[in-house]
Structure 1
Amino acid sequence: MTRARYLAFLHNAYHHVKHTVPLMMACGARLGDDREWLRQAITEYIEEEYGHHEWILDDIAATGGDRDAARRSAPGFETEMMIAYAYDSIQRGNPVSLFGMVWVLEGTSVSLATPLADLIRETLSLPASACRYLYSHGELDQSHIRFFAGLMDRIEDPADQAAIVHMAQRMYRLYGDMFRSLPMEEAA
């Protein structure tokens, strides 16, 4: 882990996380009245997720990066494709597919966020304030996964289930592409 690699991760995370709430809003807007229970759950997710992109900007600053430059920057190609695919799936396909993305991002965070934050802090000699996003998601996503499991248990329509699985399969690849795109060497 290098500082440049961690900052590149944070820049990409900022760009996909700032779309979390708008993606959830887009999903909720496309749900019919028969899915009001799911719309209610999405509002809970939105309340929980709102502002997390700002935590990432704080981490960028605490790591020595420029938070304003990060805010103005464009996402990397891989991150942009991941975001675009999520919007397209919600608008063009089944809005419930969003939960495939939620599964990938939160499931990954539950397993990796806290140990990764510890490793980054140790390797780069950073304060805990430089890993707020990772630490918070290691903890937060534990309860999110339980909430998510309860929601998914209520999804009984085979078309909805297939859309969620399809999105998860695509997101594993797209999210992996984002990680594979991170620089391996320290910037000169």
Structure 2
Amino acid sequence: MVDLISVMEGISASFCERVQEDPRFSAVFGGTPSESEYVDWFLVDTFYDVLGTPGYCAAGGQRLKESGELTPAHRLISETLFEKATEEQTESGQGHELWALHDIAAVKGWELDQAASWVRQHTPSPGSLSYNDFFKFITTANPIGILGLAFTREYMANELATQAAKNLRERSDIPNIAKATVFLGGHGEADADHVKELYPILDAIEDQADKEVVIMAARVSVESYLAKAVTRHK
């Protein structure tokens, strides 16, 4: 029997360590990136990483709901995915990509529409592209895997994002950085509760095949995130 929570905690703790060991990520999370590293790389990829999340979660919840006779765990996961689709949207109805746009606009001295136009002229890194491709795939193949994506990313944000925002405000000379850490700060605060909410849901999964899907998705989430530091398209 797979102890899903123990495996997921191990994957996620290792993820945090690897992020801090990587030179490009350690610069961002340590508060010392160049403006290009923070805006052109980190925030652009961040924008694309979260852009499709509400839609994928809603589609995954609907697919589980329509899949026939649901187990109690499947019903709980379906409800959770619908809730996450709502959580991942701001009051304006947009997703958390709006936070990334806010930070880009703050550094560049732009309005949000200028930041939105600029970011859409950029192609995200292969790591970000592969993450979105996998998110789309798992939504159709087995939406339970979305829990693996969510747990790893939210665990990492809970552990590192709040301090990263603080480090940037205290150490970086990027223009207007004091107003440009909304995404990191917001996720650091919100994801502590999100991670706690996922524990009983993971614990409710009894089917071994479903557990393996969650674990596989978690590993893809980690590797695709770290791959962003290797190279990126222009």
The question of a shared fold, defined as TM-score above 0.5 by the shorter chain, is answered with yes
Alignment partner, residue 58 of structure 1: 102
Q: Does residue 135 in structure 1 map to residue 179 in structure 2?
A: no
Contact 2:57 2:139 in 1 (8 A): no
**What amino acid maps onto 2:146 in structure 1?**
L
Pick from 93, 97, 109 the counterpart of residue 145 of structure 2: 97
Q: Does residue 5 in structure 1 map to residue 37 in structure 2?
A: yes
Q: Distance in 2 between matches of 1:182 and 1:110?
A: 26
Q: Does residue 18 in structure 1 map to residue 51 in structure 2?
A: yes
Call closer, same or farther: CA 1:154–1:141 in 2, change over 3 Å: same
Alignment partner, residue 22 of structure 2: none
Based on CA coordinates, which of the two structures has the bigger radius of gyration? 2
Pick from 114, 126, 129 the counterpart of residue 77 of structure 1: 126
- Pick the structure with more helix per residue: 1
Q: Distance in 2 between matches of 1:60 and 1:179?
A: 19
Alignment partner, residue 26 of structure 2: none
Pick from 22, 27, 40 the counterpart of residue 79 of structure 2: 40
Pick from 163, 166, 186 the counterpart of residue 213 of structure 2: 163
Call closer, same or farther: CA 1:54–1:3 in 2, change over 3 Å: same
Q: Distance in 1 between matches of 2:52 and 2:135?
A: 10
Contact 1:78 1:177 in 2 (8 A): yes
Please list, as runs of the form range in 1=range in 2, the aligned pairs for 1:143-158 lying within 5 A after superposition: 143-158=193-208
Cα deviation 1:68-113 (Å, max 9, x = unaligned): 211443322221111101211232x322111111012101101110
Structure 1 residue 182: deviation in Å? 6.6
Listed as ranges, the gaps of 5+ residues in structure 2 are 1-32, 90-94
Call closer, same or farther: CA 1:63–1:3 in 2, change over 3 Å: same
Pick from 158, 166, 191 the counterpart of residue 118 of structure 1: 166
**What amino acid maps onto 1:116 in structure 2?**
A
Q: Does residue 86 in structure 1 map to residue 118 in structure 2?
A: no
Q: Distance in 1 between matches of 2:157 and 2:48?
A: 16
| TM-score of the two chains, using structure 2 as the length reference | 0.72
Say how many residue pairs are matched: 182
Identity of aligned residues (%): 26
**What amino acid maps onto 1:63 in structure 2?**
V
Call closer, same or farther: CA 1:6–1:86 in 2, change over 3 Å: same
Alignment partner, residue 10 of structure 2: none
| TM-score of the two chains, using structure 1 as the length reference | 0.88
